[in-house]
Amino acid sequence: GYKGLAVESTDGAFKFHVGGRLQIDTAFVDDDKTRLGSGAELRRARLEVGGTMWRIWGYKFQIDFGHGETKIKDAYIKFRGFKPVSFTLGQQKLPFTLQSWTSNKWIVFQERALMNTFIEDDSIGRRRFGFKAHTHRIIHGNHWTAAAGIFGEGVEHKGPFNESWAPMGRVTFAPIAEKTRVLHFGVDSYYRHYPPNPDLSFTAYPEVHSIPSLLNSGVISGTEDALLLAGELSAVWGPFHAQSEYIHAHVGRKNGLPDPDFYGWYVQAGYFLTGESRNYEPEEGRYGQIFPQGIVGQGGWGAWEVAARFSKLDLADSGILGGVENNITVALNWYATPSILFRMNYIHAHTDPTSIAAGLGVDENVDILGLRAQVVW
Amino acid sequence: GYKGLAVESTDGAFKFHVGGRLQIDTAFVDDDKTRLGSGAELRRARLEVGGTMWRIWGYKFQIDFGHGETKIKDAYIKFRGFKPVSFTLGQQKLPFTLQSWTSNKWIVFQERALMNTFIEDDSIGRRRFGFKAHTHRIIHGNHWTAAAGIFGEGVEHKGPFNESWAPMGRVTFAPIAEKTRVLHFGVDSYYRHYPPNPDLSFTAYPEVHSIPSLLNSGVISGTEDALLLAGELSAVWGPFHAQSEYIHAHVGRKNGLPDPDFYGWYVQAGYFLTGESRNYEPEEGRYGQIFPQGIVGQGGWGAWEVAARFSKLDLADSGILGGVENNITVALNWYATPSILFRMNYIHAHTDPTSIAAGLGVDENVDILGLRAQVVW
Amino acid sequence: GYKGLAVESTDGAFKFHVGGRLQIDTAFVDDDKTRLGSGAELRRARLEVGGTMWRIWGYKFQIDFGHGETKIKDAYIKFRGFKPVSFTLGQQKLPFTLQSWTSNKWIVFQERALMNTFIEDDSIGRRRFGFKAHTHRIIHGNHWTAAAGIFGEGVEHKGPFNESWAPMGRVTFAPIAEKTRVLHFGVDSYYRHYPPNPDLSFTAYPEVHSIPSLLNSGVISGTEDALLLAGELSAVWGPFHAQSEYIHAHVGRKNGLPDPDFYGWYVQAGYFLTGESRNYEPEEGRYGQIFPQGIVGQGGWGAWEVAARFSKLDLADSGILGGVENNITVALNWYATPSILFRMNYIHAHTDPTSIAAGLGVDENVDILGLRAQVVW
């Protein structure tokens, strides 16, 4: 089938699949002061195997070979024996914000909004070694999910996990969660405590991965801990969808150094010209795969979507001169089949003259055309 | 089956396969002036997944783990919806010369002839990120293929693709393309334009991969572009087959530096003692898998083939002292099954005293015994 | 099924499987003089494909992505056409000692006993490129296995294989080899000859992989060759099992340097509280997968096993101050299903004041709690 290989025992107690994804990116950039350079990139090239055994045990192993590196993304064991709570042990993605918890395959734009830097940074971590509990309940017709976990370092880090540790949690609430109508709220928290000198810094590529960062906080010396708080809001109304999120990041420092507070947010909206709706998954509080009404190769023309996003990131506070960036993106997406899609993003990025990245007192205006071809199997 | 895992929907619209290959090499060398050293090597260790979806969409993802490195070989999406032309987007092999376009699994010798250096060199590229159109037509009973593409850098390169770009094309013509009789002609062109200081150089291992190069052009300073032109000729007459190709390489340089012209060619012939024929694939203008008449394990003795090749590479021109090499190879191949083969190559390599690799004014005579065991699934 | 994916032709002549394993480790350490540090680690993350073709041909390709590295474990072709002898060509594990030849999935403790350093060291090698013959015979009701091979370097080594070479052999004898009763004896030898300056040294992590080594021989200068001799003894009596092995290592040196002799041994015993027996594989002279009588997810509680081990390693001789370590381990294992297990190891490690690792004249007492979750598919 179109999902690669998926086999299942007749009673459903055993499942196994081999899957993967390729994301082939090209970017053309009109740079300003900082030399950026257009580029092509194999953004993601993933292979995964996973399965279910004796109905309540699961596992997943996923590796990314994209942009010249080999990185383990998922390597976990799942236990579903204490319903309605499931437990996940091992290397896994942390449930933090809607855009991050939604797979990169099914976010509306080529890349997540700028504020994703707060958890994507290597010193904080979107994927970490740890233990998570997750549950989904329907109470008076309202969908709730709750997830909490404790995490150490990532699988590629050699350092001792107990010198950095992070409890985190996410709660979502969806009073409407129908096929074509959704209303979703969420709150997230993520705390990480560090050993001495953790090299914490934030940078953010301008929403196309192959383009270098325009912002850079530099290493924030004396960092002791970091606290991230976020809020989520999203809705679907037939072919129309909208989404907005905010992250506040507080960095705690020692030796009387002032504690910087950073923040980022975005608001986006989209519309399926061909009438499809965004696919909400209430069990996980996120969006999933898009199924076009007509498939290219079976007489159809696929699904066509237009979308726009405003995105802001502020990394300038308490003497940290990381800069401020405001991005506007317009997007055209073509879902030729459920497994094959093509994205076109046009991004205008503006940075304020508060960043040491390009040189203090300098602002930049950068225009980027991003193209992506994606296959999922 | 012997092809690893291949599953298909009943209407043939969906296919999926998991495949791979191992090539286990051993070489014994009788060196001359340059110390070479015998050696064993896992020449190739590849894993691949690929498939077809909704009949007209295809994809392939292939990774090589051989000789201690992890490299993506193929990562592309294919579209067959505008017959008779197919389109391939992503990291892929470029169709240039018959020996290169034929898979390393089914070339007659352990390695391709010396002239392969012209596209194998990292600055030019056998596998690159790009877009290719391909077609196969039968006109008055003659098989034609035509392929053209535009390519940037490879997937492992971080640099911007638009600073090096390469249009290329190949046309083949086969007036005879039967099971046991083939006559094939082809012409190839490949142009690459470089950003400043591209580090272009050519080296060539003496047709056994683990043996160090005897020729070395050094970095050709001031390179602006490179143009490769090639001609192909091949024939099959029952168990007999012959093949010859020529490449001319012109390197354009700036600042009044003279433009060197290099060339390479080979001629080879082989004979199946057990009566099989080389397997020509007219749709691609190349050779494919050998199916022995008797299989070891089912009462047969496999297919046995003898072959010989003369191969020349000239990297000495316009002050570039890369040297000249002439190789003679005799080969004995045993195809125990369609998936398992054993190769034995004896190579005598001679270099003229025009190379700075061993020291100018020195010629070398090197003898190599190469062994390979190959499994394909 | 629970074995990942395994397909077979109806006549059994063709088989193919996709498998793998994850081992998720956590360790808490109470260190002494040397700073060790607790830690989490993805100990092993392996993917494998393998198969049988035309009944007598086999192959296996296995890659480990654990602890941030990509390493080929197996890449071989197997021939079973000359019964009762099978031949294996390529990168493979060497049959040397019972604990090493038993898969790390089914050894009783989290790690093999200290003496495993003698073949795990990179200069000697548990997995190497080479050629092995193996046979299993039943003579007067007694099970015999014999294996012999010649090996070069490993697949990740770039150096010429003929500058280091190693003949080795193993013979095992099992007068009892029933489902619940086993008596097993074995002898092993492994010789390796080196090119000049091979950087031979021995270190040994204290039976939890993420914890740094307490012993270190340093590079043994002037090494010419190494000879390892070992003896094996093991028994199963219903739910009870016991095992003991000894290795003697002799390092030959040039230039009148004294030849050091090192040794290591261990004795272990275990008991299945739930009545299972350890699973002896007489064809290979080793232990295999444990099948619990009750499966978690099907109303059962899995298999529960307790075990203890004393382990010694002596790396102090002839002026080499590698130190002496004695470890006591107690273990509790829970086999929730045949594919999912959890291990808890408590280790007390003591080093004598004969090692330069912590500082000469210093002894150390280290306590470690090791945890593992394992999934096999």
pLDDT in tens, A335-357: 999 999 999 999 999 998 777 76
Q: Which of A22, A23, A25, A376 has the highest number of chain B CBs within 10 A, making it the mutation to test binding with B?
A: A22
In angstroms, rounded to a whole number, what is the distance separating the alpha carbons of residues B346 and B329?
A: 6
Query: How much is the pLDDT for B358?
Result: 67
- C-beta separation of A188 from A200 below 8 A: no
Q: How far is CA B87 from the centre of its chain?
A: 21
- C5: confidence class by pLDDT, cuts 50, 70, 90: confident
- Phi, psi (degrees; rounded to nearest 5) at C195: -75, 170
Q: Which of A10, A11, A54 has the highest number of chain C CBs within 10 A, making it the mutation to test binding with C?
A: A54
Contact C39 A5 (CB under 8 A): no
Burial group, residue B232, by CB count within 10 angstroms (0-12, 13-18, 19+): buried
Quick check: helix, strand or coil at residue A328?
strand
C-alpha distances out from residue C324 to A92, C124, C202, C251, Å:
40, 20, 12, 17
Quick check: helix, strand or coil at residue A297?
coil
Give percent above pLDDT 70 in chain B: 97
pLDDT in tens, A50-73: 999 999 999 999 999 998 889 999
C-alpha distances out from residue B281 to A38, B172, B237, B336, C182, Å:
38, 12, 15, 22, 57
Residues near C173 by beta carbon (within 8 Å), at least 6 away in sequence: C142, C143, C144, C184, C185, C186
What letter represents residue B16's amino acid? Answer: F
Q: Please report how many Cα atoms fall inside a 13 Å half-sphere around the Cα of residue C247, on the Cβ side.
A: 31
Whether residue C158 is predicted with pLDDT greater than 80 in this model: the reply is no
Query: How much is the pLDDT for C299?
Result: 92
Query: How much is the pLDDT for B12?
Result: 84
Rg (chain C; Cα; Å): 21
- C-beta separation of C65 from A72 below 8 A: yes
Nearest CA in chain A to C298: A54
In angstroms, rounded to a whole number, what is the distance separating the alpha carbons of residues C310 and C325?
A: 11
In angstroms, rounded to a whole number, what is the distance separating the alpha carbons of residues C87 and B68?
A: 25
CA dihedral C155, C156, C157, C161 (to 10 degrees): 0
Query: Residues, chain B, total?
Result: 377
Return the H-helix or E-strand segment holding B189. Answer: strand B181-193
Query: How much is the pLDDT for B3?
Result: 67
pLDDT in tens, A118-173: 999 888 999 999 999 999 999 999 999 999 999 988 887 765 556 788 999 999 99
Whether residue C160 is predicted with pLDDT greater than 90 in this model: the reply is no
C-alpha distances out from residue C271 to C258, C278, C291, Å:
44, 9, 15
CB of B159 less than 8 A from some CB of A: yes
Q: Give, as one character, the DSSP assignment of residue B119.
A: H
CA dihedral C20, C21, C22, C23 (to 10 degrees): -160
Domain residue spans of chain A: 5-376
In angstroms, rounded to a whole number, what is the distance separating the alpha carbons of residues B63 and B50?
A: 12
Contact B51 A296 (CB under 8 A): no
Query: How much is the pLDDT for C2?
Result: 65
Contact C39 A70 (CB under 8 A): no
- B335: confidence class by pLDDT, cuts 50, 70, 90: very high
- C-beta separation of B16 from B51 below 8 A: yes
Query: Residues, chain A, total?
Result: 377
The shortest CB-CB distance from C54 to any of B297, B373, B377 is to B297
What letter represents residue B353's amino acid? Answer: P
The chain-wide mean pLDDT, for chain A, equals 93
In angstroms, rounded to a whole number, what is the distance separating the alpha carbons of residues A240 and A286?
A: 16
CB of B61 less than 8 A from some CB of C: no
All residues of chain B having their beta carbon less than 8 Å from the beta carbon of residue C57 are: 296-297, 336-337, 339-340, 375
Quick check: helix, strand or coil at residue B68?
helix
Taking CA A198 as the corner, what is the angle to CA A192 and CA A200, rounded to the nearest 5 degrees? 75
The predicted model gives C332-346 an average pLDDT of 97
CB of A376 less than 8 A from some CB of B: no
Whether residue C280 is predicted with pLDDT greater than 60 in this model: the reply is yes
CATH topology of domain A5-376: Porin (2.40.160)
Nearest Cα of chain B lies from the Cα of A197 at a distance, in angstroms, of 30
- Of A136, A135, A137, A162, nearest to A150 by C-alpha is A162
Q: Count H helices and E strands in chain B, helices first.
A: 2, 21
Contact A7 C2 (CB under 8 A): no
Nearest Cα of chain A lies from the Cα of B142 at a distance, in angstroms, of 30
- B195: confidence class by pLDDT, cuts 50, 70, 90: confident
- Of B35, B226, B29, nearest to B117 by C-alpha is B226
CB atoms within 10 A of CB B141: 8
C-alpha distances out from residue A146 to A68, A85, A172, B313, B335, Å:
36, 9, 7, 67, 59
- C-beta separation of B222 from B254 below 8 A: yes
CB of B153 less than 8 A from some CB of A: yes
Contact B40 C77 (CB under 8 A): no
pLDDT in tens, B338-377: 999 999 999 999 998 777 766 777 789 999 999 999 999 9
Nearest Cα of chain C lies from the Cα of B45 at a distance, in angstroms, of 8
The predicted model gives B214-224 an average pLDDT of 92
The shortest CB-CB distance from A51 to any of C70, C373, C377 is to C377
Q: Please report how many Cα atoms fall inside a 13 Å half-sphere around the Cα of residue B187, on the Cβ side.
A: 1
- C-beta separation of B361 from C75 below 8 A: no
Chain C residues 336-375 with CB within 8 Å of chain B: none
In angstroms, rounded to a whole number, what is the distance separating the alpha carbons of residues C174 and B175?
A: 67
- A317: confidence class by pLDDT, cuts 50, 70, 90: very high
In angstroms, rounded to a whole number, what is the distance separating the alpha carbons of residues A375 and A342?
A: 9
| HEC readout, chain C | CCCCEEEECCCCCCEEEEEEEEEEEEEEEECCCCCCCCEEEEEEEEEEEEEEECCCEEEEEEEECHHHCCEEEEEEEEEEEECCEEEEEEEEECCCCHHHHCCCCCCCCCCCCHHHHHHHCCCCCCEEEEEEEEEEEEECCEEEEEEEEEECCCCCCCCCHHHCEEEEEEEEEEEEECCCEEEEEEEEEEEEECCCCCCCCCEECCCCCCCCCCEECCCCCCEEEEEEEEEEEEEEECCEEEEEEEEEEEEEECCCCCCCEEEEEEEEEEEECCCCCCCEECCCCEECCCCCCCCCCCCCCCEEEEEEEEEEEEEEECCEEEEEEEEEEEEEEEECCCCEEEEEEEEEEEECCCECCCCCCCCEEEEEEEEEEEEEC
Query: How much is the pLDDT for A3?
Result: 67
Give percent above pLDDT 70 in chain C: 97
pLDDT in tens, A223-263: 999 999 999 999 999 999 999 999 999 999 998 999 999 99
Query: How much is the pLDDT for A230?
Result: 98
C-alpha distances out from residue A85 to A54, A80, A161, C296, Å:
17, 7, 26, 16
Nearest Cα of chain C lies from the Cα of B368 at a distance, in angstroms, of 14
Return the H-helix or E-strand segment holding A369. Answer: strand A364-376
Whether residue B108 is predicted with pLDDT greater than 90 in this model: the reply is yes
DSSP string covering A74-139: EEEEEEEEETTEEEEEEEEE---SHHHHS-TTTSSSSS--GGGHHHHSTTT-SEEEEEEEEEEEEE
Q: Give this complex's ipTM.
A: 0.95
Whether residue B160 is predicted with pLDDT greater than 80 in this model: the reply is no
In angstroms, rounded to a whole number, what is the distance separating the alpha carbons of residues C125 and A292?
A: 54
Q: Which of A366-370, B357-361, C197-201 has the highest average model confidence (pLDDT)? A: A366-370
Q: How far is CA A171 from the centre of its chain?
A: 17
In angstroms, rounded to a whole number, what is the distance separating the alpha carbons of residues A199 and A222?
A: 9
- C352: confidence class by pLDDT, cuts 50, 70, 90: confident
Quick check: helix, strand or coil at residue B161?
helix
Nearest Cα of chain A lies from the Cα of C22 at a distance, in angstroms, of 7
Query: How much is the pLDDT for A121?
Result: 86
Q: What share of chain B is helix, strand, coil (3-state, %, to 5)?
A: 5, 60, 35
Q: Which of A155, A156, A165 has the highest number of chain C CBs within 10 A, making it the mutation to test binding with C?
A: A155
Query: How much is the pLDDT for A358?
Result: 67
Query: How much is the pLDDT for C157?
Result: 73
CB of A55 less than 8 A from some CB of C: yes
For B79-376, which CATH superfamily applies? Answer: Porin (2.40.160.10)
Contact B340 C53 (CB under 8 A): yes
Give percent above pLDDT 90 in chain A: 80
C258: tokens are 């004294």
Q: How far is CA B48 from the centre of its chain?
A: 18
In angstroms, rounded to a whole number, what is the distance separating the alpha carbons of residues B176 and B138?
A: 11
In angstroms, rounded to a whole number, what is the distance separating the alpha carbons of residues C25 and C9?
A: 38
- C-beta separation of C35 from C366 below 8 A: no
Q: How far is CA C96 from the centre of its chain?
A: 9
The predicted model gives A261-282 an average pLDDT of 98
> Cis peptide leading into B239, omega within 30 of 0?
no
CB of A287 less than 8 A from some CB of C: no
Contact C377 A63 (CB under 8 A): no
pLDDT in tens, A160-178: 556 788 999 999 999 999 9
Q: Which of A7, A11, A61, A122 has the highest number of chain C CBs within 10 A, making it the mutation to test binding with C?
A: A61
- C-beta separation of B335 from B341 below 8 A: yes
